[in-house]
Structure 1
C-alpha cells in the first residue's frame, strides 16, 4: 500500500462538501493557472519584479534592468500581456508597461516576509 493514500474510504461528507462548494469555478481556476504559468518562467518573473519596483517602464529600461535584449523582453511582455498581467500605453515613440492590479497583488504576496525563506 502506498503511503500517500488512505487504506480505508471514509469521507467526512459535511465538511468535504462544504469545502467543495467553496472552490472557484473551473473557468476562474483556468485563468488563475494561466497567470501563474506566465510568472513561472524566470525571465518573465524578473520583468514582473522590475515593473513591480519601477511602476512603469519602457522596453529599453526593462532590457537594461534585467540584462536581456529588447527583443527577448518584448517577447516576454507580450506573453505577460496575454495572461492579463501587464498593460501598455504609448508615450510618443515609447511604449510604457506596467503591471495590472492583479499582478501587483500577486507579486506583493510573493514578497511577504513569510515567503522569503526558500526551503529548497
Structure 2
C-alpha cells in the first residue's frame, strides 16, 4: 500500500462539501493556471520584472534590459499580453508594453515567494 493515500474511505462529507463549494471551478482554475504558466518561463519572468520596474517599455528597451533579441522579446511579451498579464499599445512605430493589474499581482506573489531568485 502506498503511504501517499488513505488506507480506508474516510470522507467527512459536510467538511468536504464545504471545501468543494469554495474551490475554484474547472474553467477559472484553468485560466489561472494559464496565467501562472505564462510567468513560468525565465525570459517572460524577466520581461515582467523589467515592466514592473520600468512601468512602460518598448520592445527595444526590453530587449536591451533582458539581453535578448527583439524578436525573442516581442514573442514573449506577446505571450504575456495573450495571458492577460501585460497590455500593449502602438506609439507610432514603437510597441509599448506595461503590466496589467493582474500581471503586477501575480508577479508580486512570485517575487515575495522567491526574492533571492529575482535578485532582490
TM normalised by structure 2 equals 0.90
- The answer as to 2:41 corresponding to 1:19 is no
Equivalent position of 1:44 in the other structure: 44
- Equivalent residues, number: 117
Aligned to 1:116: 115
Q: Which runs of 5+ in 2 are unaligned?
A: none
Match of 2:92 in 1: 92
2-structure distance, mates of 1:108, 1:71: 27
- 2:8 alignment partner, SS class: coil
Provide structure 1 residue ranges, at least 5 long, that are not aligned to the other structure: none
Post-superposition, which runs of at least 4 consecutive aligned residues in structure 1 deviate over 6 A?
A: none
Tell me, in whole angstroms, the C-alpha distance in 2 between the residues paired with 1:8 and 1:116: 41
Kindly report the root-mean-square deviation, in angstroms, between the aligned alpha carbons of the 2 structures: 1.5
1:40 shift after superposition: 0.9
Post-superposition CA distance 1:44-80 (Å, at most 9, x none): 1111111111111000110000100000000111111
> Shift in Å at residue 116 of structure 1?
3.4
In structure 2, the partner of 1:32 is: 32
Matches of 1:84 and 1:99, distance apart in 2: 9
Separation of aligned partners in 2, 1:77 and 1:35: 13
Higher normalized helix content (fraction of residues): 2
